Amino acid sequence: MAALRSLPVCLCLALTAPSGGFVPSWEVLPPAPAVTKPASPPPTESVAHYIQALLDTTAAGSLRAADESRGLQAGAAVRAFFGADYAPAWGTVPDSLNTSAALALLARAAEHGLSADDYRLNQLRALRDSVGRTRHPALAQQARLEVYLSDAVLAFLRDLRRGRLRPYTASAGEKAAGPAGQPAPVLRAALAGHNVPAALQASQPANREYRQLQQALAQWLAAPVPPDSAARRRAQYEQVALNLERWRWDDIPPEAEYILINLPAYELEVIARDSVQRRHRVVVGKPETPTPTLSSRLSHFTLAPDWHVPQSIAIKEILPRLKKDPGYLYRNNYRLTDAQGRGRNPWHINWANVTEENFNYTVRQSACCDNALGNIVFRFANPYSVYLHDTPARALFKSAGRALSHGCIRLQNPMLLAAYLLRREGRPVQLPTEDECAEMPRPRDVRLNRPLPLYVRYATCTAENGRLRFMADVYHRDESLRQALFGLRP
């Protein structure tokens, strides 16, 4: 609750229960379904009888329609949770330890970039209070508390695991299919051990980046709020929340060691033993040619690499120069070949007749001091033909905003990363100097015995030493996600 008190007024509504009884409206919770009862209730009538009625899908015609009519957010998980016997799970006392722990869990939703309002916290508190006001509460009310409290917690655990927006991607489907992606057994185990917070711990992404960001957000929310900063604080909160959502969609599998490139941070980190071992500045793609996010494994690096110029660059940038001066190729150590792979003399081509549509040539730049890939390129499989490489334009690393490339990633001090990769395998570090690279007659590949996982991600807010770090949205991706989570700003 201390965390929630620090939120702007616009972020959190009053958390006290209504003074009256629980109001069974569509805006709050749907009314309990009618249950046909004989004149004298049979001895078998129980809370389970009413839970079964609440979860009955026969009259609705479909599971989706039944969930909508009952106002259930996690209907399938709720049915799996109660199983075939519909036995109560939360105990007969409304203020039991499990019930109180569950409501406290939902009250902390803001610490995870989610809203307690989405899980009807106030309404559940009111329902709990209404059940607790009588010594022998009605079975139907007890059943409603069982079902809707279960629904709220299961939806919360699901959203923590997969994300509130629940994108229907292959990765999300695989994630949801595993044991950790099924909230019902996770909650059952937590209730059996009277340890509801364990369900939260089991449902969150385990990767370091998510954990650090979530913990920093909780600390940030607990800090005092200056009275004149509500609007700015709200915007910052939403920026943290949407990045937590991103990590839920596309988290990093548990790895002992990996490389993480965060595009908005213009930074590469080598993570090992849950801490940063190396940090390098990078140059990434311009907004019009953005670097893609991806997951791969760094398998080898090439010293004194050739650069096979992408056709888009050859047509857009080199062809106009050739029309003015065919000698441009020789001065920059480029070689021209035709569609059959034969070397061509640029002075023997009538460039005035060559257009973007009929440019059937390949341009390759051999190793040299001005090679666009520099002295070394790191290779990893990906469908985008993206590399991580050195560059002769090293002054660019001094710029604050480094979205300047065609899409590949340029790396500051790349030989230091190569030396690290060799040392981690216990291999001798014998890397050539820049002059030696330029004099190499041909490129040389160095294969890694232990390929290193590599992740390229897009996060405009990270955490470092428990503090939030906000970055510019270089590719303008935040606003659409923010609106999907929070709606239009007033």
Q: Which residues are marked as active site?
A: 389, 408
CB distance 458 to 246 below 8 Å: yes
Residues in the chain: 490
> DSSP for 321-341?
HHHH-TTHHHHTTEEEE-TTS
**Pairwise CA distance, residues 452 & 256, whole Å:** 10
Extract long-range pairs of 186-193: CB within 8 Å, 24+ residues apart: 186/157, 187/81, 187/150, 187/153, 187/154, 187/157, 188/81, 188/89, 191/89, 191/90, 191/98
**Pairwise CA distance, residues 65 & 331, whole Å:** 70
* Cβ burial, residue 294 (10 Å; 0-12/13-18/19+): middle
Q: Which of 204, 162, 167 has its CA nearest to residue 77? A: 162
| C-beta neighbour count of 427 within 10 angstroms | 13
**Angle, to 10 degrees, between the axis of helix 183-192 and the axis of helix 75-82?**
40
Locate tokens 């809203």: which residue? 115
Q: Which two tokens stand for residue 50?
A: 């009413």
- Residues 6 or more apart whose CB falls under 8 angstroms from that of 476 comprise 287
**Pairwise CA distance, residues 362 & 354, whole Å:** 14
CB distance 165 to 89 below 8 Å: no
